[in-house]
Amino acid sequence: MRPTLTLSLLAATLTFAAGAHAQLSEAATHGKATFDAKCALCHNADSTDKKIGPGLKGLYARGTLADGTTKVTDATVTERIENGKVPMPPFKDQLKPEEIKELVEYLKTL
């Protein structure tokens, strides 16, 4: 391998590693865009204050959903997004499975 190529690969790897903590992953960045478009009208992402639905800051750290018993896992969060819970509308016909996955990746960062 040519030295310049090796060096630029190394630099790219280091930049990526350094940015990983401060920046959202690509999936989470897409998820944030979907959140801002579809979810932010009812959910705060930066606080636990209720809007129309519960504030989602620290959702994964919180451990259980607002009902106090359902564990917060990728499966239960995905289920809630797909099927909603009155008055939250279901999103399984509006969002692709990939978009829901990206949303979950974003929610984990809150």
Question: What is the closest distance, in whole angstroms, from the C-beta atom of residue 19 to ligand HEC in the complex?
Answer: 25
CB-based closest residue to ligand HEC: 53
Measure the CA–CA gap between 43 and 36, rounded to whole angstroms: 9
Nearer to ligand HEC by C-beta: 19 or 85? 85
CA 36 vs CA 5, 72, 76, 89, 94: distances in Å: 39, 21, 21, 16, 15
Binding residues for ligand HEC (CB under 6 A): 38-39, 41-43, 52-54, 56, 65-67, 77, 80-81, 85, 87-89, 91, 103
Question: What is the closest distance, in whole angstroms, from the C-beta atom of residue 71 to ligand HEC in the complex?
Answer: 11
Nearer to ligand HEC by C-beta: 1 or 52? 52
Nearer to ligand HEC by C-beta: 19 or 89? 89
Nearer to ligand HEC by C-beta: 23 or 48? 48
Q: Which phi and psi angles does 32 have, rounded to 5°? A: -65, -40
CA 88 to chain centre: 17
